[in-house]
Amino acid sequence: MQRFANPLRFKRLSGALLPWTSTATLALFAAGLWLALAASPRDYQQGETVRIMYVHVPAAWMAMFVYANLAIASAVALVWRHPLAEIAARAMAPVGACFTALCLVTGSLWGKPMWGTWWVWDARLTSVLLLFFLYLGYMALANAFEDEARGTRAASILALVGAVNLPVIKFSVDWWNTLHQPASVSRLDAPAIHPAMLTPLLVMALAFMAYFATVLLWRIEAALAERRVAARRMLTEAGPSSPALRR
């Protein structure tokens, strides 16, 4: 773990990974979208509308997966003060917020024709909306302080507090009566989804995952470059005798 916390080592690693993840993103999205929109059958109840699932469900999975990563990175940042964990947490928050927004919007578009309503305040929908607000709160708090380190610390605590929402989202459909249906894929018995529709769903999920990896590596690289520029500017402005040199 410690070895990858070094920014130089990270740059070498991300340089090696990025060509693979970016190629995988393009290939998986091409295959996944073709499978989802053209090659897969319509549903026996929902007809063609079921195709919204191939975007909605991976977006929802990623919204929760990114938040779990955000909470872990925040914990590492708080306990071990790894600068790379702080940068990674700050870099992934907007990406996770976008996945959550995509999940909410596609869910709303799906709810109108199937349920007959754009939105209801049931436990699943409300807890996902709360997740979206947690992302927004993290970003606002992280940038609310003059001192970046203080902002990261405050936002990290928020991210950890918000992590209790993740099991609530996952199990909301089992604990309470909701309009949202229960899980189709992660069940104890076989998935309640036909293989002809499960395959495109999983390919799309992999595409989302590869996209997240690519964008996260890019954003961390950009943040590292920004820090170096800021550090260099401070050096040249302060002159050689300044205390900034000794850091």
Partner 1 sequence: MTRKRRRLYVLLLGMIGLGAATALTLAAFQDHLVFFYSPSDIASKPVPRDRMLRIGGLVEPGSVERAAGDPQIRFRVTDMANAVPVVYAGLLPDLFREGQGVVANGKLGPDGVFRAAEILARHDETYMPPEVAEALKRSGHWQHMGQGDKKPAP
Stretch of 6-14, 93-101, 145-153, 159-167 lying at the interface with partner 1 (CB under 8 A): 159-167
Nearer Cβ to partner 1, position 1 or 16? 1
To partner 1, the closest distance from the beta carbon of 178 in angstroms equals: 5
**26 C-beta neighbours (distance < 10 Å), count:** 13
- Which residues neighbour 88 within 8 Å (Cβ) at sequence distance 6 or greater? 69, 73, 216, 220
Which residue among 27, 109, 122, 199 contacts partner 1 (CB under 8 A)?
122
* Polymer length of the chain: 247
User: Contacting partner 1 (CB under 8 A), which of 78, 128, 134, 217?
Assistant: 78
Q: Any contact of residue 164 with partner 1 (CB under 8 A)?
A: yes
CB of 6 to partner 1, least distance (A): 18
How many CB atoms lie under 10 A from the CB of residue 165? 19
The answer to the question of residue 75 lying near partner 1 (CB under 8 A) is: yes
Sites for partner 1 among residues 34-73 (CB under 8 A): 41-46, 50, 53
The one segment of 59-67, 91-99, 174-182, 209-217 that binds partner 1 by CB under 8 A: 174-182
Residues 176-205 that bind partner 1 (CB under 8 A): 176-179, 181-184, 192-194, 196-197
DSSP string computed for 102-168:
HHHHHHHHHHHHHHS-S----HHHHHHHHHHHHHHHHHHHHTSSSSHHHHHHHHHHHHHHHTTHHHH
Query: Residue 173: CB partners within 8 Å, gap ≥ 6?
Result: 123, 124, 180, 181, 182, 183
217 touches 17 (CB < 8 A) = yes
Nearer CB in complex with partner 1: 53/95: 53
Between 183 and 223, name the residue whose CB sits nearer to partner 1.
183
Q: How many CA atoms lie within 13 A of 129 on its CB side?
A: 11
Which chain residues interact with partner 1 by CB under 8 A? 41-46, 50, 53, 75, 78-80, 113-117, 120-123, 160-161, 163-164, 168, 175-179, 181-184, 192-194, 196-197
